Structure 1
């Protein structure tokens, strides 16, 4: 069965117009009824850095969690954010963005890669102390636009280092939408061989016309943890292709039609309602 990690946080965080808190709550409550494995719902970061997420605590308080099996994931970038997140019993996962690119790490979290690794190690200790699980996102895992040295061996070396640190869930991330199907299949298969005891996933930014093909490549490589966002909303502003956004939930569902045994039980009527709500109220 494929775990779908729905990522409204990633979809919304880059939007310039602030989405009202009650609109976010209504949207997320629809998503909680769909049947996703996990909802990446918000982030405990500085409101100056990500203004769109300044109401994460208020949004969390408005979520209807009584009749859902969907788990909650929140992004943190430092120990302070981790301490804030673990105060909430409702949150099961803390996500941390680590990068293969020194330049992107500095721009994204204002830390060097080494400092980010140290922060991740501390965050993982905080998470474990409070019975939470850390999810590390390895961004720029398929290349970067900065003319820095890149190789799959460098990605695999960092992935192995994170496993040794005690990270049990790792998501290989195509931040700027450069990966093709072969890239995804090759890196995922090599990482799976290297880290058989790590739950590996993919977080893909891509052109919407290539999304289903890339989702199929991940599935065929054995990936059973895939991040998506309804409508493909979000993505990275540094992508060369202006159409690049998150892998659309709809594209993953289409790809899973080929292998129905891997399709999770989703409430497709509620999914349609959530999709309509997103188009009318979010973007």
Structure 2
């Protein structure tokens, strides 16, 4: 199982600004744990997400000399993507494409059709810069707005992305709507429709819900899971009450009960957990 640790998602909704030096210290600790990918920051409007206004400065302070972990930065438009692809250290550029029209407007101030135009342009930018685009299908398990939803809708969006040549597609449970049953249903449906694709999962959960959601994703063949130490975070554009990320500690423990390896350095993981508590 490939794990993506998401300190960006954990930090972005916090009301107090975490000093740049503390972010660098924490991210450098995470880089020693052995995660496949680190969702470390975002190139978005500082007015919209003030916590991420120092992403470029944070990146300059990261020590990548002794890690195999790849860096991922989130963007919300072409301008942000142009910034992100300019940094050699960044491997992945992530873009949130919502299957809910309401949330696309809330998150990026654009319609789904406008966002799809951005996706095509960002994909082209990534190809030119030898980066890889990761598209998160936000509200991928339902939404609180009453917008239409079905697994078939997610399959339709995935088909559009596949037609563009995009390979990294991650259905995302932005507000914790998913249940183990709907997780299994969606990923089984995607596996049937796209047998050559390997899907990731970005899930959110209330306390106590994570192990069942992890087991459901594993049963459905998910090969990559996103989490955040302590279960912090969530999208500040989604709701007034945030539902946190899957706690990475619980992901690792649950995978352990299933006999699934993560390749993490557990001593470094323990140090990062303590640092998270100190800084967050």
CA contact (8 A) 1:208 1:244 kept: no
Point out 4+ residue stretches in structure 1 off by more than 3 angstroms: 236-240
> What residue is the counterpart of 2:247 in the other structure?
248
Work out whether 1:267 is the aligned partner of 2:265.
yes
Point out the more displaced range, 18-27 or 146-155. Answer: 146-155
Per-residue deviation, 1:199: 2.8
Count of residue correspondences: 279
d(CA) in 1 for partners of 2:279 and 2:215? Answer: 30
**CA shift at 1:192, angstroms?**
1.5
- What do residues 235-272 of structure 1 show as CA deviations (whole Å, max 9, x unaligned)? 245459x5720011011111111332x31211111111
Distance in 1, Cα, partners of 2:56 & 2:198: 28
In the alignment, what sits opposite 2:68?
69
What is the aligned partner in structure 1 of residue 166 from structure 2?
167
> 1:201 and 1:86, CA in 2 relative to 1: closer, same or farther beyond 3 A?
same
Alignment partner, residue 226 of structure 2: 227
CA deviation profile, 1:148-171 (whole Å, cap 9, x unmatched) = 111111111111111111110000
Aligned residue in 2 for 1:125: 124
Distance 1:179 1:239, change over 3 A: farther
Q: Report the TM-score when normalising by structure 2.
A: 0.97
- After TM superposition, the structure 1 = structure 2 runs for residues 15-94 of structure 1, keeping only pairs within 5 Å, are 15-94=14-93
Alignment root-mean-square deviation, CA? 1.3
In structure 2, list runs of 5 or more residues that go unmatched. Answer: none
Q: What is the alpha-carbon distance in structure 2 between the residues aligned to residue 243 and residue 85 of structure 1? A: 27
Matched, 1:136 2:118: no
Structure 1 residues without counterparts, runs of 5 or longer: none
Q: For the Cα contact (< 8 Å) 1:163–1:198, is it kept in 2?
A: no
Q: What per-residue deviation string (whole Å, max 9, x for no partner) do you get for residues 166-210 of structure 1?
A: 110000111110111111011011111212233311100111201
Counterpart Cα distance in 1 of 2:198 and 2:81:
21
